Structure formats: C-alpha cells, structure tokens
Chain A
C-alpha cells in the first residue's frame, strides 16, 4: 500500500539566495517552518500570510538579512540575541490592539534560546502570548564559530570544549529546553528533527494552530560545526532519531503523564547503534579512543528517556 505523505505547500517565505552554508540544517528548518506556519494561518484565519517573525541574533538571522537584501518574504524583525521571546510578546500585544488576526513566530538557535534567551522565552511562555517559539538546535554557538552551549551534547568537541589530556570534550549533559518549556504548562511543546520533515511540518502546523504559546525544538545539523560533509545533513538528522539519541515527542499543557512519542520502537529497543551517528561527525571523533565516554553518553540519553517515561535500550 502506498504511503500517502502529508502535502507541503508550494508557498515560499524563505527565498533562495540566502548566505547559509551548503548543506545547512537550520536553513531547511526556516523553509519548512514558515511553510507550515502559512498553512496553519490559512486554515485558522483564512490568510496564509497572517504571521510575523521575530528572530534572535544567530546564524540564520545573519545569513538571511544582510542589508540591502533579505531572504524573507514575511514581515521579519531582528532586535538582539537574548530577547526574541520579549520582542515577540510586544508584537503579539500590538497585534491584539490593532485587531490583527495572526500569530507570531519567534526563532532562536540553541544559544539564543537555551542560554542567553531563556529568561525572555520563559516570560513569553508564562504570560501566554500567542507566539510559537522555534528553537533550531545545532548544538553549539555556530554564529560565533562553534563554541559550546548548554545544548551541546556530552562528549562533543567545540572550540571552548576541546578534548585534551584532561578533557573528553563537552563534559555536561545536554540541556533539554523542550522539557523546561513544557514545565510552563503551555498548550503545546514538541521536539522534531529535519530528519523527519513531515513530522516537523505537522508539529509546526499544530504549534501554529493552538491558541496561546507553543515551543518546538528541532534538531538541525551544522556542517562546519559538526565537522560533517554537506550531503550528510539530513542523514545525520535521521540517524539521531533512529539511534535513540533524539527523542521525538509532544507534551500538551505540561502533561508529562501523557507524552506522545513518534518513531518510537514498540519494544523500546533502538535498532541502529549510536556509533553510526557519532562516527559520521568530526566533533565526536575523539570519543572512539575512549569507549567509556560513549557509554556515558548512552547513559545520559537513557536517563532523558526515563524522565520522559520510557525505558529504552540503545545499541
């Protein structure tokens, strides 16, 4: 039986000609997210264009808005690194007063979201603004050149978490911002990966459709930051799901007892070894000299699954 894929609109808001690297994961995020948004806006308000974007400082902001050019075919604003949540709050308030129907899309990388921007994100979620906050997670500060963020996974090389005689690379577990967002008991929180674009598309549509705030954390591999070939971006994003390293889930209204999972193996056993994912990336190269570090990474990921209510086996 043929599998019917969900349709993706042909409308474009992320124009070609932006300055992102070849094989850029976040660029795929921008394109898919805005397409999904427009579909949701069309369904909800009868106007596919009924949205505006507030962007945190970061690589996607820089590559898309180099004056006098722009990659955006939607109203778009960039203010600073740490305040996309607050700027979006202001736009939401203004639109309410103007009687303008629509929703705000706030976008930040893991630096602008998990670290410097988390306060403004929390405020925006807590105040129940009509905003979808999209965190594209490439797991380091790629705009300034690959420094670690709190979303950098254990063991990863970055320029500020270099492996060495006394270091394994990044030595702290990854901060899962989706769980922090869900703790705000907002209508909708999800994780996604560009390795499953249809799932990501559906989640962005859902996020844009709910009344009130939503948060989506999407894995988006970075070619220079992960030390990977451009053609491997989507494959890596897929492997992250298939090896169990990247849980795909949805949490509604902060209900941690009823988390919906996607692509979860029925028996809880992930079929591909995480080494398949790690081996493709220069940032994890050094881990293979210390197998215990790979075990530690597995332990941390299993712990995240356990918090999510699932006992899993990782190969």
Chain B
C-alpha cells in the first residue's frame, strides 16, 4: 500500500530518487536543494538505497560525474539550483548531445546579482536550450511523481535525453505537505532496471564517445537531439497515461482549470498554479469569466496544447518568474511562437511576477486581471508588464 508522509519538497525529490534506484548520485550542496543530497546520503548510510554517492567538489563535477556514470551505462541522478545549475551549464549541452538520460531535481531559485536564495525560475529557464527536458511541479507530490516520470521518458529509446524537474525554492523545497509515496514494487514495474542497449564504456565492446564532429557531421548530430525532443511529446503523454494507470494521478502537458467560457486565461507553471486556482475560484464567485492553466512540461514546449488553449480565450495572460532581458518572459516568447501563424488568436500579454522570492499576492493578480480586461476592451496596454514592483525604491 502506498504510504502517506508529510514532507518537504526536497524530501519528496530524495524519495523519488530512492524509488528510482539510480546506481550513481553525485551532488554538491546548494540552497535551497541541499536537503536532497543530505537525505539521499542518509538513505545510503542506512542501507536503504544501494547507490554510489559521490560527494563532489562542485556542481560542475556533479554533472560531469553523472555524465561519466551514465555513459558507463547506469542510471544517474543529481540535484541543484541557481548558480549551481549555471555552473553545470556547459556540461548540460554535452549530456544532451551524448543522449544520456540523466535526471536532475532543481529547487528553482533566482540568479545573482544581487545574490538571492529565493524562488523564481531564472535558473532552469536559462537552461532551456541545452536539450534537457523540463518539468515543473505545482506541489511536493508532483515533485516526486515528475521525477519518476522524467526517468521513464528520458530512458525511452525514442527519446534518450536528460531531464530536469523544477520545484519552487522554499515554497515547495522547504514546505511540508502530505505526499503519497508509491510502493517500491509498483515503481520497479513502472521504471524497470536501466539497461542501455548501446555499448557503454564496455571493454568487451569498446566504442568512442564524445568525438569531435566536423562541419560535415555536427548539424546532423544536433538534429537528432531536435528529433528526440520532438519524439518526447508523444512519449511523455504515453508515460502520463501509464503513470495514471499505475499510481492513479493524472498529468497533462497543460492542465486547465475552469477554462470553460473564459474570456481571460492565466497561464503559469510551478507552485504559482496553486495560488492561481484559489484566485480563479474567488473571481468566478464574483462572476468574472476567468480560468487558469498550468504548464507541466516546458521542454518539449507543448505547442499543440497552447493552440488548443488559445482557442478558448480572448486574452491569454502569462505569469512567469523569469525574464529574458531585451524581449520579455521566456514563456511569453515561446507561446508567441506557438500562436504566430494561427488565424485566430487571443491577445497575449506577459506578466513578470514574483522574482527572487517576492510573494505573489491576490492584489497583484487583480492587477493582472485589470490590465487583461483593459486589453479585452480594446485599450492599448503594455505587452510585457512587471507586476508588484516597488516603484518607490527605484
């Protein structure tokens, strides 16, 4: 029987790692995800987890050791956040290019400067072009589930790409919630043991990995990563279905909430979706035709789902905790790509919100709705809006 325990998001991620049975874990502590390697080291110390835990000297080495381990043919896991993820940046491309199904848990945190340990998504968003799949969890249960799902998708022969699962710093990493821990046997059935079909650093079948690709081959190699990411759309949906059958919880590329007859839909990711749902209930009681949508999978980008969502609304308001300086939020620009050639499309507005751990309040969300309404009524509004700025200190 699945066990219910009250735990922090970090513990949920560590439990997911334990259930997935990676043979190698390599990690370096960083706030807010430090508890992930701590908890894993406890599991290993108590003999509850049969993994080599490499206490590396940096995040760069954490991901490098995972690449080495994965290339040697075993399941590998790590966890990090913020500057730690940024330090891994170079190797993230290599892990994807070498088609190594490493899974990484990220306690989504802002980037310096100024140094700030609190939540936004700038860390993972900045890695969106590395070839890693990206999942975002709304709550601790999702953090656990999505890590298991990430392993299953990553290791699928049609995909073979690494994956990162983000869960918001402190809002989830350090907040306790009841989490259902699935039975080990069911997880074993779901994931199975990772046995790569290729020859991986095997003296009996030596191959060369990580060779130099001249212009004659480089583009084709990168194209296979593109293809793998395209394949991942289908595989993710299959795995979501299988996960529901085995564990009873259903995931969607984009989960919709009260979007029926909505004139305004607020689209977001991660824990902010929880806040939005409550806000939507309040607005619906007030008679406002409003809905919410949560993007669970950000890479591959759910293009078809965005198109379907866009058909249901007049204003699509994107709330995101990241910024691409000089253009706007990353999700906003991606959504625009999905809709640019659609004949009919809603007004798309961007709202940069909650950076560096600033609380997202109902007041701020009211501001989002006000701006969206103005746009709905044909008034000209800014396309990119910074919400909750303390203008008095600027």
Contact = CB atoms under 8 A, between A and B. Distances in A.
A87 B202 contact: no
Nearest to B25: A93
Interface in A22-36: none
B208 A86 contact: no
B52 A80 contact: no
Interface string B58-86: 10111011111111111010000000000
A119 B58 CA distance: 9
A30 to B, nearest CB: 13
B72 A98 contact: yes
Nearest to B200: A75
Contacts of B23: 93-94, 97-98
Given A77-B71, A93-B26, A83 B64 contact: yes
B67 to A, nearest CB: 5
Max chain B CB contacts within 10 Å: which of A47, A65, A75?
Answer: A75
A268 interface: no
Interface residues of B, number: 47
Given A50-B203, A51-B203, A52-B201, A91 B72 contact: yes
B211 interface: yes
Max chain B CB contacts within 10 Å: which of A62, A83, A126?
Answer: A83
B61 A85 contact: yes
Given A50-B203, A93-B52, A65 B208 contact: yes
Given A79-B91, A89-B65, A93-B52, A72 B201 contact: no
B325 interface: no
Interface residues of A, number: 46
A92 B56 CA distance: 13
A77 B68 contact: yes
B210 interface: yes
Contacts of B188: none
A250 interface: no
Contact of B65 (A72, A77, A87, A126): A87
A123 B58 contact: yes
Contact of B207 (A50, A75, A90): A75
A127 interface: yes
B65 A93 contact: yes
Interface string A227-271: 000000000000000000000000000000000000000000000
A52 B203 contact: yes
A67 B213 contact: yes
Interface in B27-61: 50-52, 54-58, 60-61
Max chain A CB contacts within 10 Å: which of B52, B66, B206?
Answer: B206
Interface of B: 23-24, 26, 50-52, 54-58, 60-62, 64-74, 76, 90-91, 94, 98, 199-214, 217
Interface of A: 47, 49-52, 54-55, 61-62, 65-68, 70, 72-80, 82-83, 85-98, 102, 119-120, 122-123, 126-127
8 contacts: A49-B206, A52-B203, A80-B94, A89-B26, A90-B68, A93-B65, A94-B201, A95-B72
